[in-house]
Structures are given as C-alpha cells and as structure tokens.
C-alpha cells in the first residue's frame, strides 16, 4: 500500500516570505507521479504542481517549486513570496503505476500580513 | 478548455434516505473519472473510479455505488444513507497520458442527520 506523510498539521508564514511544506512517501513502484494540491476554504481542490519519478529536474510552476529528493523519498513544496491568498490547506499526493491517487493528511498554511 | 461540474453543491438528507450526486465533464472525451470523499479536516479517500462507460471499480466496500451511464457523466448513489456518509464528495477527471493529473470539481457537501 502507498503511504503519504505530511508531518506539519499547520504552519504560519509572513506575507512575502517563503514556506516549505514537507511530504514523504513510500512506494515500491519504480515509476510514479507526485502532486501537490491546494484546497482553500471553498473546498475545491486546485492542482498546483507535478513531478515525475524519472524527471531529472525539480518541477517549478510560478511561485511553486517542488524539492524532489528521490533517495529520501521526499517531495517538499516550496511557496515563494507568500500572499494572503495562499492561506489554504495543501495536500501532497502520489500516483504509482495505476490510476489511484493517494493523499496525505494535509498541511494548513496561514499567511499573516 | 475542460470543465467539471458537480451538483448539488450542498445537501442535507435524513438517515435512510436515498442519494444521487452527479458529476459531468465538458471539453474532453473518454476521461477517467473518480469519486472521492473527504471527512472534516482529513485527506481524500478514493471511493470509485471509472475508465469507461459502464466500467466501475470500487475501492472501499460501503453502502455507496457509482454508475457511468455516459462518457462524461459519473453518478454516486446510495439506497439508504448512514450518518457516517456525511462528508465532502469530490469528483475528478484525468486523461491517461503524460502526468495523468486529476482535476477536481467544486464538490458536494453532504450532511446526513
């Protein structure tokens, strides 16, 4: 069974600063995908960024970057220049070599002005 | 562009009543479709997924069922709701290509009283 661990239940960050959200995973599949989603208070799950297990470079999407350390099985999300609108719950997810996406428990981020 | 719709947005139902939640996708053909449930403050749990019309795979044994009567329509049903069925239900779609990223609908908040 696949397991995703997010050890930080909640984090506070000052506006305009960077924040790193931790995610570790466990899988025996050699091929897998890693995803981060944002869930604001409205409830919708918004796709942020994707990293493939064979990708040589860390993924980046605007202010989001994924710090992928394959040997450590970690896929931390870095949000740079935090904005008030970044306050939300963030989920790390993994899809091994099938359709099933497994989610971590989530980290709540609160951006302070 | 692709869009995904879910209705109703919120629903309050008595224990023992039936349930029907609908999800439709526009702008794509033959998507993979998924139903997830999210309990309050928790991660997502995959309930069902479908790779084509009439093809449904169940992940969690329960009193819920799913159907896919049309290519871009996915329905979650129950004959008799339980209190434990309360939660936030999210539908998602993906295309089995590349990252196979799942994109989520706005969700339905179900309260069973």
Look up residue B63 and give its DSSP letter: S
Record: contact B102-A101, CB cut-off 8 A: yes
Q: What would the DSSP string read from start to end of chain B?
A: --EEEEE-SEEEE-TT--EEEEEEEES-SS-EEEEEEE-TTS-EEEEEEEEETTEEEESS-SSEEEEEEETTEEEEEESS--GGG-EEEEEEEE-SSTT---EE---EEEEE-
Q: Pick the residue with more confidence: B42 or A8?
A: A8
Task: State mean pLDDT over A5-21.
Answer: 96
Angle among Cα A99, B110, B80 to the nearest 5 degrees reads 90
Contacts of B4 in chain A (CB under 8 A): none
Look at residue A97 in the predicted model and tell me its pLDDT.
74
- List residues of B whose CB lies inside 8 A of any A CB: 32, 34, 42-44, 46, 49, 51, 59, 88, 90, 92, 94, 96, 99-107, 109
| % of chain A at pLDDT higher than 70 | 98
Contact by Cβ (8 Å): A83, A18: no
Look at residue A2 in the predicted model and tell me its pLDDT.
67
Look at residue A38 in the predicted model and tell me its pLDDT.
98
Look at residue B96 in the predicted model and tell me its pLDDT.
74
Residue A86's φ and ψ, nearest 5 degrees, are -80, -10
Chain centroid to CA A32: 15
Look at residue B41 in the predicted model and tell me its pLDDT.
76
Q: Pick the residue with more confidence: A2 or B24?
A: B24
Task: State mean pLDDT over B58-81.
Answer: 92
Is the pLDDT at A1 greater than 70? The verdict is no
Task: State mean pLDDT over B65-75.
Answer: 96
A44 at the B interface (CB within 8 A)? yes
Q: pLDDT tens digits, residue range A56-91? A: 899 999 999 999 999 999 999 999 999 999 999 999
């Amino acid at each position: 069974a696949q397991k995703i661990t997010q050890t930080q239940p909640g984090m506070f960050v000052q506006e305009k600063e960077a924040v790193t959200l931790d995610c570790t995973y466990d899988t025996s599949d050699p091929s897998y995908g890693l995803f981060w989603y944002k869930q604001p208070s409205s409830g919708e799950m918004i796709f942020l960024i994707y990293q493939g297990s064979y990708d040589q470079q860390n993924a980046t999407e605007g202010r989001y970057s994924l710090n992928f350390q394959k040997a450590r099985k970690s896929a931390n999300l870095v949000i740079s220049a935090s904005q008030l609108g970044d306050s939300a719950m963030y989920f790390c997810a993994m899809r091994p070599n099938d359709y099933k996406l497994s989610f971590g428990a989530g980290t709540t981020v609160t951006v302070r002005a | 562009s692709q869009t995904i719709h879910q209705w109703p947005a919120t629903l309050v139902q008595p224990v023992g009543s039936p349930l029907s939640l609908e999800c439709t996708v526009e702008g794509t053909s033959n998507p993979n479709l998924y139903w997830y449930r999210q309990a309050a403050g928790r991660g997502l749990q995959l309930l069902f997924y479908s790779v084509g019309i009439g093809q449904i795979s169940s992940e969690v044994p329960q009193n819920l069922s799913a159907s896919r009567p049309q290519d871009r329509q996915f329905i979650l049903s129950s004959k008799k709701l339980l209190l434990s069925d309360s939660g936030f239900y999210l539908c998602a779609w993906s295309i089995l290509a590349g990252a196979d990223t799942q994109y989520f609908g706005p969700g339905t908040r179900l309260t069973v009283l």
